[in-house]
Structures are given as structure tokens and as C-alpha cells.
Amino acid sequence: MRAELLDYLVCPKCGEALDLHPFLDDAADAREIDQGLLVCRGCAAPYPLAEGIPRVLPNAFRRLQKYRRDFSTQLSQIDFRELPLEDTRQFEALHRLTSRAFGYEWNTYRVTPRAEDLMTFFWLTGADPEIYGKLSVNDVFSFYPTAADLAKISGSHLAGKTVLDVGCGMGKYLAIVSDYAETVIGLDLSDALVRARAVVKDRPNVHLVQGNILAPPLKPGFADLAYSLGVLHHTPDTHSAFRRSNPVGNWPCGCIRKRKIPTLTPIGFTGFRTM
């Protein structure tokens, strides 16, 4: 984690800013902080920074027993107030289910070819609105782009923007978007972020946050754009996940496949593309 990320993070419980307490080993490389503790300025809730990823979830401090043992000395010198067990219990069930479903999958399987990810990202999100007119694609998932197709993509609409990837998984689209946008934040609930970290490690404009879409640990309005690919329907409440992440960053022009998510009616969200 790099300190700039603190400008965007908030406590998911009370919405206050977080303070970062880096642990000693990180002093050698102040830009990349691997281990530490984030503490809410309002309610003093503790959120571990472990393996370079801020774990801004209600149950994270309770869950990471090894982290607590390894850094017991440093933790004993910081003032914080652990969240009550009942606050974390309900969330724990959702977290366990999602981690089981996706943590293994994304940490085990290889990434798809970049050309495919590039085309899928621009075609599905509408981040290059003109691309719809340039290509005739019936089903992007069975589409293998040619060099000529790829040459038609322009990322100019992302230039200078701060972009949020809602449910970034192992980060394959972060690796695309960060070529064009100024800053990209990947938010995900699962340990797939460990894999994402390896994917984006040489990209200083990418930040990762472990957090829940249903209570995003991010400052409202911090992002210029948000996109989400294959995620919202995995939450217990798709509509609510859509609405709650919207204030964080405006959805540009997403795609919802009516056949897959028949109940979602994005009324009031102009620029939301339905296909």
C-alpha cells in the first residue's frame, strides 16, 4: 500500500478517515508499506494492513490471527478499539462464502490473454463509447480480437481520471485501465487481491483495497468513474450493491445483460447501457 491511498479510504462503519501506523520493517521502503495498522479517527476501529493490502472489513482484525501474533509488540503500542463480536458476525457469513467461491479460483487460474481482456473491458464498460460503432460483435465473450480490432480502441476517455474497479478480482482489468487512467483503485472482498497485487506490482498508479461493496470503505465522490464486471449479481442484493457503489464513483456506461440479471432496472442512472 502507498500512503496516497489514505486520501480515498474511510471507515466502513462510521465514514471517518483512517490513520496509518506502519510497522518498523517498512521504514526501508517508505513508498510501499507492507504491514501496519489502519485506525479509524472516529470510532477507533482497527483495520490490518497485511501483505501490502489494507483489509478494511469489520471482521479483518479478528480474522487475521497470525498477523496479530506476528505484530503483537507493535499492536500493543497503538490505541484502537476492536469492534464488538456481534458487529462482525453477520458480515463473517458473507465473507466466508465469497472467499471460498473466489479466493481459490483467482489465486489458482491463470490470466486470460491481454488482447481479450482489453477488448472485453472496452466493449463491456463503454469506456470507449465510439467502439460500439466501429465493431460488430455479437457476443464479446466468444470474440477473439484481431490486431485491426485492437487498433480501433482509444482510451482517451480515461485520461486524467480516477477510476474505481468494483470487485476487481485478480486485477486483470486493473492492468488494462491503468495504462490509460491517472489512478485506479481495485476494491474486492476476497483474497484474490493477493493475486491482483502480483499482477499490478509494477504499476504505481494502482491501489488495492479489501472491502465490501455493500459498505464501501471509500470516500463518496472520490472517483470520476466506476465500472464493475461480473460482480454485482454475486452479492446478496444486486440492486443495493449498484446503488451503494454509485456515490463513490459515477458509473460511466456499464452493460447489464438482461437475461442474466432480469430484475435490475437501472432507472435514474442515465448513461447506463442495457444490452
Ligand X SMILES: C[S@@+](CC[C@H](N)C(=O)[O-])C[C@H]1O[C@@H](n2cnc3c(N)ncnc32)[C@H](O)[C@@H]1O
Q: Which chain residues interact with ligand X by CB under 6 A? A: 98, 102, 106, 167-169, 172, 188-190, 192, 212-214, 229-231, 234-235
Pick the closer one to ligand X by CB: 204 or 230. Answer: 230
d(CA 212, CA 115): 29
Q: Do the Cβ atoms of 59 and 82 come closer than 8 Å?
A: no
Euclidean distance between CA atoms 43 and 135, whole angstroms: 51
Whose Cβ is closer to ligand X: residue 153's or residue 241's? Answer: 241
Q: Which residue is nearest to ligand X (CB)?
A: 169
DSSP class of 123: H
Q: Which of 136, 124, 121 is nearest to 175 (CA)?
A: 121
| DSSP code string of 187-207 | EESSTHHHHHHHHHTT-TTEE
For the bound state, the minimum distance from the C-beta of residue 224 to ligand X, rounded and expressed in Å, comes to: 19
Cβ nearer to ligand X, comparing 137 with 214: 214
Handedness of CA 205, 105, 225, 246 (dihedral sign): negative
Q: Give just the sign of the alpha carbon dihedral 80, 82, 87, 88.
A: positive
The nearer residue to ligand X, 53 or 213, going by C-beta atoms, is: 213
Q: Which is nearer to ligand X, 68 or 239 (CB)?
A: 239
Residue 66 CB contacts under 8 Å (≥ 6 apart), including other chains: none
We find the least distance from the C-beta atom of residue 93 to ligand X, in angstroms, to be 12
Smallest gap from residue 23 Cβ to ligand X (A): 26
CA angle at 100 for the pair 99 and 102, rounded to the nearest 5°: 65
As measured in angstroms, the least distance from the Cβ of 265 to ligand X is: 21
Instruction: Write down the least CB distance from residue 73 to ligand X, Å.
Output: 32
> Which residue's CB is nearer to ligand X, number 40 or number 232?
232
Shortest reach from residue 185's CB to ligand X, in Å: 12
Radius of gyration of the chain (CA): 19
C-alpha cell at 202: 509494477
